[in-house]
């Protein structure tokens, strides 16, 4: 995982970003024409660490 996110944080980030993409937000990476699933696009963005969402943990 990138930046030591827990699996729950990763799921929340990808879910939030895929919702944004499905509502019309432009992808932050270059995607192929056949890639239309917002979740797949969000997972690729997460893997490349380009999603502008940060996690703040209170310890």
Identify which of 17, 13, 16 has the alpha carbon closest to the alpha carbon of residue 29: 17
pLDDT at 48: 95
* Boundaries of every domain in the chain: 2-47
SS3 47: helix
pLDDT at 40: 97
> Tokens 């939030």 label which residue?
16
SS3 49: coil
Mean pLDDT per 10-residue interval, the chain, length 59 residues = 82 96 96 94 96 87
**Cα–Cα–Cα angle for 21, 2, 47, nearest 5°?**
45
CATH of 2-47, picked from 3.20.20.70, 2.60.40.10, 3.90.940.10, 3.20.20.80, is 3.90.940.10
Give the integer Cα–Cα distance in Å for 27 and 39. 11
pLDDT at 35: 92
pLDDT at 29: 95
pLDDT at 2: 52
């Amino acid at each position: 995982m990138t930046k030591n996110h827990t699996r729950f944080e990763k799921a929340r980030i990808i879910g939030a970003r895929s919702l944004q993409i499905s509502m019309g937000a432009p992808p932050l990476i270059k995607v192929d024409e056949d890639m239309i699933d917002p979740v797949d696009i969000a997972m690729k963005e997460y893997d490349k660490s380009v999603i502008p969402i940060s996690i703040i943990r209170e310890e």
